[in-house]
Amino acid sequence: MYQPQPVQRVEIPKPGRGVRKQGVQSGTDIGCHFGKENIRNDYDWLQQFVSVFQAMDADEPGEAASRLLVPRLGRERVYAVDCPAGCKDANDCMLNGHGLDWCIEHARKLDPEELRRAGEFRDHVWERFYPPDGQELAGDELPWPIGKFRLRSSELTIVHDYNGHGKSIALGQCLLHLAKQGRRSRQ
């Protein structure tokens, strides 16, 4: 589902009377005279948009135009506007009581199904580093309490600060603490 971020909407093909009545004035004329020249003529103009809403007729020529346009516009920024059942284009949507806002709110990204957002993995990663209460955390504790932070084997821990702020002393204390637990440091 589309998250409202772009400043301007672009409809392809050029909006018909029904779309204009709904307040959309921008577009590019690709329509039934679709060809390679049309996208070439408007390509620079279309580059300014972060998101492009592609509204084609729900028929074979519309699908063929869509297959040609999506790679040229950039799959990552195209939202497909699908008309509801019984509607062929934006004009039919308006006549059947579905406004253009409804169509755009229900527009879909053309990302592959297996593609996932990083945020979907947040809980899994968090539980991997910080298991739920009652389970022991992986890694070695520091000599002083710092929440749930642990030193784990095969991980790199970077300690940085200004000169003279005690980095070497703190790391020396960590090494002594780990030596008391029977851990060895590598040089």
Place of tokens 């996208």: 39
Tokens of residue 76, six digits: 């990552």
For residues 65 and 131, membership in a common domain is answered with no
For residues 72 and 162, membership in a common domain is answered with no
pLDDT tens, residue by residue, 20-58: 445 554 444 444 344 455 566 677 777 888 888 888 887
- How confident is the model at residue 185, as a pLDDT? 66
What is this structure's pTM? 0.47
How many Å from the N-terminal Cα to the C-terminal Cα in the chain?
Answer: 52
> Up-side HSE of residue 19: CA atoms within 13 Å toward CB?
19
Within-domain flag for 185: no
Domain count, the chain: 2
Asked if pLDDT for residue 163 goes beyond 70, the answer is yes
> Up-side HSE of residue 26: CA atoms within 13 Å toward CB?
12
Domain range for 88 is 11-109
For residues 75 and 41, membership in a common domain is answered with yes
For residues 61 and 31, membership in a common domain is answered with yes
Higher pLDDT among residues 21 and 6, named by residue: 21
Asked if pLDDT for residue 82 goes beyond 90, the answer is no
Mean pLDDT computed over 58-76: 84
Higher pLDDT among residues 24 and 104, named by residue: 104
Domain C-terminal end among 86, 109, 132: 109
CB atoms within 10 A of CB 129: 13
**Gap between the Cα atoms of 179 and 175, Å rounded:** 6
